[in-house]
Chain A
Amino acid sequence: MRVLAEADLRLDAGPIDYALLVIYFVVVLGIGVMARRSVSSSLDFLLSGRSLPAWVTGLAFISANLGALELMGMTANGAQYGMATVHYYWIGAIPAMVFLGLVMMPFYYGSKVRSVPEFMRRRFGKPAHLVNAISFAVAQILIAGINLFALAVIIDALLGWPLPVSIVVAALVVLAYTTLGGLSAAIYNEVLQFFVIVAALAPITILGLIKVGGWQGIVDKVTDKEQLSAWPATELTGIDNPVWSVIGLVFGLGFVLSFGYWTTNFAEVQRAMSAKSMSAAKRTPIIGAYPKALIPAVIVIPGIIAAVIVPEMAQLKAGDTSSGVVYNNVLPLLMRDLLPNGILGIAITGLLASFMAGVAANVSSFNTVFTYDLWQDYIKKDRPDEYYLRVGRLATVGACVLAIGTAFIAAALGGSNIMDYIQALFSFFNAPLFATFIVGMFWKRMTPTAGWVGLLAGTFTAMFIYAISEPSFGIKWLELPGQGASFLGAGLAFAVDVVVSVAVSLVTRPKPDSELVGLVYSLTPKEDRSHATTGEDAGWYRSPALLGGGVLALTTVLYIIFG
């Protein structure tokens, strides 16, 4: 009998493991120092001078999303819900990423805006811009704090460092390389992190598969056979009727939530905006889609295996919570049970790297929005560029300090639940934002007033659905366990935003056509939307449409095999 549940997770890290971890931190900081040499303007610092090749921005695109919450959360979902978790990677990501690359990047990159809120300002004017810029900036700080807190909890569990020490140390490392090298350092480290995470997860998966007896072993040993197929995912959605469950998945997760997240979240889109050409920008999310489609192999599969081979996890799954283990502990438990010293160090490094990259993505997108969209637009206009470069650096420092603050608040509030609410709160902005963007990009008649009114109407709809369905609020007009409520909320928010936007547009005055060139489909000449196919953009294998079709086909095949 173990008395302390936390003690279960403590890893037996040796000198060799710490040495591998230290090497990684030295390289990470080295990248910051080296990237500093090529920063000479605010655009260099905040948008990498739009100079990066597509494979770099593409991997960073996926890596920025592969943060702590994602890694722990999705292995946990794998253990709890089984194969249905792949929906978050396939239908819940791939179509939206291809859409972003082929349909939306021409406007984002072609209009030369420096951020998603800036696109909002040019298309709809200041009220919509302010709503978007402020909500994004606040969300990034809070989410950075959540990431820091999650990081500290895991370091405490794995290595026994006190919470405050890990929060501050991690924040200082992120601060050091992002203040020095700006977005380039953040992106380079994200790419490096991608490989380290795969190097950490692949051995866990392979050893897990050997231990469980291969794929056949999984099929034999998973007790709930429904968890071996992805559809209809009734447990995941909380919708009992299989037909409605599939509709909820396809429309709620696959369309509204996923398109809202991937196409309007500046922390993601920023990676594509830093690409060196229109072709590279279009390819960024599509190149990222390939690893996104394949990575469930080393995230979802280990989760499923853990539920079978880790005794505490099997107990939990059978409804016995006495060991104190929760689903989020899947990765640390597998590391404890499978990895010897050496590769254990790589796995610890991979986990910490993932947490830090999440924070760095929050911070590096915050400082761009703060500098260009808030400071330059509303506080100090028309200063020389060095001034804004300095503001960008100071904003980075400010963001890290504030994130440490929110991390400590999270710790004081007792952890994860309150942070789930905050995550949910900001997800309310995504679905309506996508509705506003998509109507605004394809309908020139949509007016500036409709821009912000639609956005607010959609957001309030999402909040309303959340309030009446979240069990702990006690209103309970709507009972949907699992993810069903957020699918419904996002879907309705999208619909309300579209209806309100159209209605308001019909009674208010649109912007003149001349101001919408490059921002609206029908007013943008085809040449401005297409990419060059010469020089470094030449070759059939660099065609965004072909690559996009390829990843959609790959996803379809994966669904046929594992669905």
Chain B
Amino acid sequence: MRLFDLRVIIAFLFGLYGVVLVVVGLGFTSEDDLRKAEGVNINLWAGIAMVVLAAVFAAWATLRPQFAKTGKG
């Protein structure tokens, strides 16, 4: 059975989440938000971490495709 590549889905979801959080972090962070999170712009940092995670999975899926060898998988 040939199932689609999960790494692509992970890259997609976290890429989207990451971009949304970076935008919220850069553009829509109030003083209250900052105070709540101990002065850390947590949306921005979490967003960046998610974009990195997405990039890692995207790179892995590109460099080592799931069905490279025929007959298996």
Contact = CB atoms under 8 A, between A and B. Distances in A.
Contacts of A39: 1
Interface stretch (A80-88, A191-199, A229-237, A497-505): A191-199
A51 to B, nearest CB: 5
B21 A342 contact: yes
Given A207-B38, A342-B20, A23 B13 contact: yes
Given A48-B1, A56-B6, A188-B9, A340 B37 contact: yes
Contacts of A24: 13
A16 interface: yes
Nearest to B34: A340
Given A340-B37, A346-B21, A192 B46 contact: no
A339 B38 CA distance: 10
B46 A199 contact: yes
B36 A339 contact: yes
Interface residues of B, number: 36
A158 B45 CA distance: 25
Interface in B15-51: 16-17, 20-21, 24-25, 28-29, 32-34, 36-38, 40, 42-43, 45-46, 49-50
Nearest to B30: A340
Interface residues of A, number: 44
A190 B21 CA distance: 23
Interface in A166-205: 184, 188, 191-192, 195-196, 199, 202-203
B49 to A, nearest CB: 8
Interface stretch (A27-35, A141-149, A483-491): A27-35
Interface string A197-225: 00100110011001100000000000000
Contact of B25 (A31, A34, A196, A342): A342
B15 to A, nearest CB: 11
Contacts of B49: 199, 202
Contacts of B16: 23
B53 A195 contact: yes
B36 A338 contact: yes
Interface string A332-363: 00000111111100100000000000000000
A196 B66 CA distance: 23
Contacts of A192: 6, 9-10, 13
Contact of B37 (A188, A191, A338): A338
A25 to B, nearest CB: 11
A192 B69 CA distance: 25
Contacts of A196: 13
Contacts of B4: 34-35, 38
A346 B24 CA distance: 13
A340 B21 CA distance: 11
A38 B29 CA distance: 44
Nearest to B66: A53
Given A184-B3, A206-B40, 19 more contacts: A20-B17, A51-B1, A51-B3, A56-B6, A188-B6, A195-B10, A207-B37, A338-B37, A339-B36, A339-B37, A340-B33, A340-B34, A341-B24, A341-B33, A342-B43, A343-B42, A343-B43, A343-B46, A536-B72
10 contacts: A27-B9, A48-B1, A51-B3, A56-B6, A191-B10, A192-B9, A195-B53, A199-B17, A206-B40, A343-B43
Can you list the 4 inter-chain pairs with the closest CB atoms, starting with the nearest?
Answer: A340-B33, A49-B1, A342-B24, A342-B43
